[in-house]
Amino acid sequence: YRVKLCSLSQYEHPDFEFDFLDQDVICGDIPRISKGPILKELKRNKIWLSDIGSDCPKIDMLIGSDIYGKILTGLVKQLKGGLTAVNTKLGLAVRDYNISDLWNLETIGILDAQHNLTKAAEEEIAHEQFLNSLNRNEEGRYCVGLPWLGNDQQLPDNRFVAERRLFSVTRKLNSLNKYGDYDQVFRDWIGEGVIEMVPDNELNFKGHYLPHHPVFKPDSATTKIRPVFDASCKVNRSPSLNDCLFKGPNLIEEIPSILLRFREKCIGVTSDIRRAFLQIELKKEDRDFLRFLWWEKDNVVKLFRHNRVVFGVTSSPFLLGAVIRFHLFQVPTEQRVIAQKLDRSFYIDNCVTSVDNEEELENFIKYSTEILAEAKMDLQSTFENPVPVLGIIWDRKDDNLSISIKDVSVSERLSKREILSVTQAIFDPLGFLAPVLLPAKLLLQQIWEIKSDWDTPLPEEIKVKFLKWFENLQILTDLKIPRRIGFGDKSSWSLHVFCDSSQQAYATVIFLRCEYDGKIFVSFVSAKSRVAPLKKLTIPRLELMACVLGVRLSNYLTEALSLSDIPKYFWTDSTTALFWIKRNDQWGTFVGNRVREICSVTKVNQWSYVPGQSNPADLPSRGCSPLQFSKLAWWEGPVWLKGPPNSWPKLEIKPDEALISSERRKGTNLSVQINSNAYPNESKWYKRFSKLTKIVRVLGWVKRFIRNCQNL
27 closest CA partner among 695, 677, 594, 489 = 677
Would 215 be classed as within a structural domain?
Answer: yes
What is the mean predicted confidence (pLDDT) over 87-110? Answer: 48
Q: pLDDT tens across 201-226, in order? A: 988 888 899 999 999 887 666 678 89
End-of-domain residue from the set 286, 307, 331 = 331
Query: What was the pLDDT predicted at 152?
Result: 60
Q: How confident is the model at residue 664 (pLDDT cuts 50, 70, 90)?
A: confident
Q: How many domains does the chain have?
A: 5
Cα separation of 18 and 1, whole Å? 8
How many angstroms separate the CA atoms of 568 and 608, rounded? 11
The answer to whether residue 266 is domain-embedded is no
If asked whether residues 577 and 696 sit together in one domain, one would say: no
Distance CA 79, CA 331 (A): 41
* Residue where a domain terminates, one of 310, 331, 352: 331
Distance CA 343, CA 341 (A): 5
Sequence-separated (6 or more) residues with CB below 8 Å from residue 356: 265, 266, 267
Res. 49: pLDDT tops 80 = no
- Show the CA angle centred on residue 426, arms to residues 551 and 628, nearest 5°: 80
How many whole angstroms separate alpha carbon 16 and alpha carbon 39?
A: 31
Residue 27: predicted pLDDT: 61
pTM attached to this predicted model: 0.76
Confidence of residue 677 (pLDDT cuts 50, 70, 90): low
Torsion of CA 405, 406, 411, 414, to 10 degrees: -50
> Residue range 634-644: average pLDDT?
91
Is 300 found in the same domain as 177? Answer: yes
For residues 633 and 103, which has the higher predicted lDDT (pLDDT)? 633
In-domain check, residue 395: no
The confidence score (pLDDT) of residue 432 equals 94
Confidence of residue 2 (pLDDT cuts 50, 70, 90): low
Q: What is the predicted pLDDT for the residue at 669?
A: 47
Q: Percent of the chain having pLDDT more than 90?
A: 53
Q: For residues 519 and 421, state if they share a domain.
A: no
Domain shared by 469 and 524, yes or no: no
Considering the domain architecture, whether residues 630 and 700 belong to the same structural domain is answered as: no
Residue 283 has pLDDT above 90, yes or no: yes
Distance CA 336, CA 329 (A): 8
Strand-pairing partners, residue 443, are: none
d(CA 414, CA 250): 32
pLDDT value of residue 361:
95
Phi, psi values for residue 465, rounded to 5°: -60, -45
pLDDT digits (tens, 9 = 90+) for 407-460: 777 777 888 888 888 888 888 999 999 999 999 999 999 998 888 888 888 999
* In-domain check, residue 588: yes
Examine the pLDDT at 69 and tell me if it is beyond 80: no
- Based on the domain organization, do 58 and 179 belong to the same domain? no
Does residue 289 belong to any structural domain of this protein?
Answer: yes
Q: For the CA atoms of the chain, what is the radius of gyration? A: 30
Q: Are residues 579 and 696 in the same domain?
A: no
- Give 147-196 pLDDT, tens digit per residue: 998 766 678 889 999 999 999 999 999 999 999 999 999 999 999 999 99
Most confident of 14-28, 402-416, 498-512: 498-512
Residue whose C-alpha is closest to residue 438's, from 448, 428, 450, 452: 428
User: Over 50: is that where the pLDDT of 113 sits?
Assistant: no
Q: Transcribe 270-294 into DSSP letters.
A: EEEETTGGGGSEEPHHHHGGGEEEE
Q: Amino acid identity of 326?
A: F
pLDDT of residue 249: 78
571 and 650 together in one domain:
yes
User: Which is nearest to 270 in space by CA: 363, 364, 358, 354?
Assistant: 354
pLDDT digits (tens, 9 = 90+) for 514-534: 999 999 999 999 999 999 998
N-terminal to C-terminal alpha carbon distance within the chain: 63
* Distance between CA atoms of residues 102 and 56, nearest Å: 14
Q: What CATH number does the domain containing 226 carry?
A: 3.10.10.10
For the cut 60, the answer to whether the pLDDT of residue 654 exceeds it is yes
pLDDT-based confidence at residue 97 (cuts at 50, 70, 90)? very low
Query: What pLDDT, in 10s, does the model give residues 322-351?
Result: 999 999 999 999 999 999 999 999 999 999
Is residue 539 within 8 A of residue 503, CB to CB? The reply is yes
Average pLDDT over residues 608-629: 94
Closest CA to 163 of 304, 301, 313: 301
| CA–CA dist 233, 314 (Å, integer) | 12
pLDDT score of 146 more than 90: yes
Q: What is the dihedral of CA 597, 601, 606, 609, to 10 degrees?
A: -20
Q: Are residues 577 and 438 in the same domain?
A: no
Q: Could you tell me the CA-to-CA distances from 85 to 9, 92, 149, 604, 690 in Å, in that order? A: 13, 6, 10, 48, 21
Q: In the predicted model, is pLDDT for residue 127 greater than 80?
A: yes
* Residue 253 pLDDT > 90: no
Residue predicted with more confidence, 419 or 70: 419
The region of weakest confidence among 51-65, 111-125, 169-183 is 111-125
Q: In the predicted model, what is the mean pLDDT of the chain?
A: 84
Domain shared by 626 and 503, yes or no: yes
| 119 or 349: which leads in pLDDT | 349
Which pLDDT value is given to residue 485? Answer: 96
- Per-residue pLDDT averaged across 125-129, rounded? 84
In a shared domain, residues 418 and 507: no
- Is-contact 344 364, C-beta < 8 A? no
Residues 135 and 241 in one domain: yes
Residue 340 located in a structural domain: no
Q: Is residue 194 part of a domain?
A: yes
Give the torsion sign (CA, 569, 573, 579, 580): negative
Half-sphere exposure of 523 (CA within 13 A, CB side): 21
Domain with residue 524: its CATH number is: 3.30.420.10
- What mean pLDDT comes out for the span 373-380? 95
pLDDT at 13: 53
Domain that holds residue 438: 403-476
Domain end point (choices 315, 331, 347): 331
Instruction: Count the helices and strands in the chain (H runs, E runs).
Output: 20, 26
In a domain, 292, yes or no: yes
